[in-house]
């Protein structure tokens, strides 16, 4: 057991071996979080029988402490004070202690009258002395359990208990999801070892057992004997629930629901976010108290971002990092040190998250993208460079560094990311070609901003090049999506990248054929041709290259082990016509 979740009045607490965090929803609907060091040794939950008592005591302690912490974090305006607040101010004590003390007194009074006095009185009046002591005890036990059950049913429909039960349901979902915040929404609100369910099971059991045995030794000894029975029942009930949970026993759900439905209700998004806030806060090394009115904790921000992205099935941890980093003007490593953001930053990040959840790519949201350690402006006229394309750049740079000032040409340059990255990282002469005037304009601006020297040419592939112009390396990431598949693409590609940069013809290979057929005319003897290809296209492109005289072709896989890059070199006097005649 590495983490334990306990629901409270308007929030939840999460306890681990080294940290205790509380996340609440205050009276204004805002999330607040607090964290402090924990000295609880989780190894105690490995000790059979003892762990039940530890769980029981710890749960009560955490509930009360969470209740007090929630109240201290929930700062209310003076004009919104309730009766308890006014009484507290008059008496110069905290209202929370009045409420807590009143609740305890009323609870004990109700328990004494309804559970202690009423059942024996009713049984005695109903059955008299015509039954054995054991039978009367059994009737009393059943009646007490029945009253207890009806009391819990009544509390379930009491509006003031709904928040606690919803927070409890959110805790159950988190435990069933094994504390993976991205999976909480899909999990059950019932869980055997949930603290409230455990308490309920233990109290039902102990109430029945104590009533059935009904030990009468001496007035001063009976309370201690009953306390011992209660402790034994608590230990036994914990072990029963522990075994049922671990054994995955058939029909367990029915057993759990018989009690758990009384204390668990389906949580709203807000309740689930509170749980996520507490779990995320556990990952921060330093203690953190979120009491400043104009600051929002990073754990609160992350939980809300995750909820928005998951609602449209667009959650990706790297996207979350990029959204925060871009708004804050920091890199992804620096944001890990950020503990809070201003309200303006919080709103800006959530607005950007909302756009991302609807399918808009991060590059479109901010108008730029990070690529190969540089920043490139992008728009809807060019394809935003992907991480996989960095492998293409890396392979070209690696080869270029073995040559003496090679001449390199980037076909279908778009934003200029490939050409500029190569020009900035090796000693070479780079030309970049694109058919789109707006793409050339954008690429030139990117070159200036990144202080790269690149010769940009407006041309349909090689058409505007001088016939005798030759390069050591030609590199291209051309359109390679099949025409019929363009409309099937994800929204962030189909709606935000230009079709001109996506459509590769009926089989997606049109541009490869054109480039490969004409590349030998513009490559020096032994010159290299590099391509990025779509998934499953490497073999076809390799065959096209080999038919046109390219030799020593190699395929490079990307980070996901997909064949993504292919390159080869040409040899003098070997053209496509020669290849066909030899075939």
Residue 122 has pLDDT above 60, yes or no: yes
Q: Which two tokens stand for residue 133?
A: 């002591």
Q: What is the mean pLDDT of residues 326-347?
A: 86
| pLDDT more than 70, % of the chain | 85
- Distance from C-alpha of 24 to C-alpha of 12, rounded to nearest angstrom: 6
Q: What is the mean pLDDT of residues 135-158?
A: 90
Residue 188's pLDDT is what? 86
Residue 533's pLDDT is what? 92
Q: What is the mean pLDDT of residues 202-223?
A: 87
Q: What is the mean pLDDT of residues 564-578?
A: 70
Residue 555's pLDDT is what? 95
Residue 34's pLDDT is what? 82
Instruction: Classify domain 287-366 at the CATH topology level.
Output: Helicase, Ruva Protein; domain 3 (1.10.8)
**How many degrees, rounded to 5, is the angle at CA 410 between CA 409 and CA 413?**
150
The CA-atom distances, in angstroms, between 45 and each of 5, 75, 105, 235, 450 are 14, 36, 32, 12, 58
- Distance from C-alpha of 71 to C-alpha of 502, rounded to nearest angstrom: 56
Residue 285's pLDDT is what? 61
Which stretch of 100-104, 201-205, 429-433 has the lowest confidence by average pLDDT?
100-104
Residue 407 has pLDDT above 90, yes or no: yes
Q: What is the CATH number of domain 383-582?
A: 3.40.50.150
**How many degrees, rounded to 5, is the angle at CA 340 between CA 336 and CA 346?**
105
**Model-level pTM?**
0.68
Residue 399's pLDDT is what? 95
What one-character DSSP code corresponds to residue 533?
Answer: -
Q: What is the DSSP string of 152-193?
A: HHHHHT-HHHHHHHHHHHHHHHHHHTTT-GGGGGGS-S--TT
Q: What is the mean pLDDT of residues 26-38?
A: 77
Which of residues 426 and 187 earns the better pLDDT score? 426
Residue 103 has pLDDT above 80, yes or no: no
Residue 489 has pLDDT above 70, yes or no: no
Residue 97's pLDDT is what? 57
Residue pLDDT, tens place only, 227-267: 999 999 999 999 988 888 777 666 666 666 677 889 999 99
Residue pLDDT, tens place only, 162-172: 888 999 999 99
Instruction: Provide the pLDDT confidence category of residue 520 given band limits of 50, 70 and 90.
Output: very high
DSSP alpha helix (H) spans, 187-221? 195-213
Q: What is the mean pLDDT of the chain?
A: 83
Residue 424's pLDDT is what? 95
Residue pLDDT, tens place only, 271-321: 998 899 989 888 776 555 544 456 888 888 999 998 888 888 878 888 898
Residue 503's pLDDT is what? 61
Residue 253's pLDDT is what? 60
Residue 85 has pLDDT above 50, yes or no: no
> Can you give the residue ranges of every domain in the chain?
3-269, 287-366, 383-582
Q: Are strands 407-411 and 471-476 parallel, antiparallel or unpaired?
A: parallel
Instruction: Provide the pLDDT confidence category of residue 89 given band limits of 50, 70 and 90.
Output: very low
Q: Which two tokens stand for residue 132?
A: 């054995």
Q: What is the mean pLDDT of residues 542-560?
A: 92
């Amino acid at each position: 057991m590495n983490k334990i979740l306990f629901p409270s009045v308007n929030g939840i607490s999460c306890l681990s071996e080294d940290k205790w965090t509380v996340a609440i929803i205050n009276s204004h609907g805002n999330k607040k979080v607090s964290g402090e060091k924990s000295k609880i040794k989780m190894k105690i939950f490995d000790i059979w029988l003892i762990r039940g008592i530890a769980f029981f005591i710890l749960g009560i302690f955490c509930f009360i402490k969470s209740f007090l912490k929630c109240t201290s974090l929930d700062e209310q305006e003076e004009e919104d004070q309730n009766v308890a607040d006014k009484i507290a101010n008059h008496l110069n004590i905290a209202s929370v202690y009045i409420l807590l003390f009143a609740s305890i007194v009323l609870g004990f009074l109700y328990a004494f009258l309804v559970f202690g006095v009423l059942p024996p009185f009713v049984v005695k009046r109903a059955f008299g002395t015509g039954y054995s002591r054991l039978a009367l005890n059994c009737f009393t036990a059943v009646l007490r359990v029945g009253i207890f059950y009806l009391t819990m049913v009544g509390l379930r429909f009491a509006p003031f208990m709904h928040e606690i039960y919803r927070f409890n349901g959110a805790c159950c979902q988190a435990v069933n999801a094994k504390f993976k915040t991205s999976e909480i929404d899909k999990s059950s609100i019932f869980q055997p070892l949930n603290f409230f369910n455990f308490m309920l099971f233990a109290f039902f059991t102990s109430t029945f057992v104590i009533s059935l045995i009904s030990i009468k030794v001496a007035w001063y000894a009976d309370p201690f004997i009953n306390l011992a029975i209660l402790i034994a029942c608590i230990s036994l009930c914990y072990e029963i629930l522990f075994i049922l949970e671990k054994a995955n026993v058939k029909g367990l759900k029915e057993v759990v629901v018989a009690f758990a439905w009384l204390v668990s209700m389906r949580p709203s998004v807000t309740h689930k976010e509170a749980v996520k806030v507490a779990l995320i806060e556990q990952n921060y090394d330093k203690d953190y108290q979120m009491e400043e009115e104009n600051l929002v904790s990073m754990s609160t921000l992350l939980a809300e971002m995750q909820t928005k992205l998951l609602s449209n099935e667009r959650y990706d941890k790297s996207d979350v990092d990029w959204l925060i980093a871009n708004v804050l003007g920091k890199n992804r490593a620096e944001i890990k040190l950020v503990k809070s953001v201003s309200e303006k930053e919080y709103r800006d990040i959530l607005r950007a998250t909302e756009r991302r959840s609807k399918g808009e790519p991060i590059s479109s949201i901010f108008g730029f993208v990070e690529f190969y350690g540089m920043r490139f402006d992008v728009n809807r006229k060019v394809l935003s460079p992907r991480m996989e394309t960095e492998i293409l750049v890396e392979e070209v740079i690696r080869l270029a560094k073995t040559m003496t000032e090679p001449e390199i040409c980037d076909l279908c340059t778009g934003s200029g990311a490939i050409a500029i990255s190569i020009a900035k990282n090796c000693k070479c002469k780079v030309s970049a070609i694109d058919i789109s005037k707006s793409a050339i304009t954008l690429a030139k601006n990117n070159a200036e901003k990144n202080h790269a020297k690149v010769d940009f040419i407006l041309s349909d592939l090689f058409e505007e090049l001088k016939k005798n112009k030759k390069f050591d390396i030609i590199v291209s990431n051309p359109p390679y999506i099949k025409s019929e598949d363009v409309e099937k693409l994800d929204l962030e590609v189909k709606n935000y990248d230009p079709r001109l940069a996506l459509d590769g013809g009926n089989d997606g290979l049109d541009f490869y054929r054109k480039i490969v057929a004409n590349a030998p005319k513009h490559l020096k003897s032994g010159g290299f041709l590099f391509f990025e290809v779509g998934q499953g296209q490497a073999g076809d492109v390799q065959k096209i290259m080999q038919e046109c005289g390219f030799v020593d072709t190699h395929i490079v896989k990307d980070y996901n082990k997909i064949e993504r890059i292919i390159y080869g070199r040409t040899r003098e006097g070997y053209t496509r016509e020669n290849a066909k005649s030899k075939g």
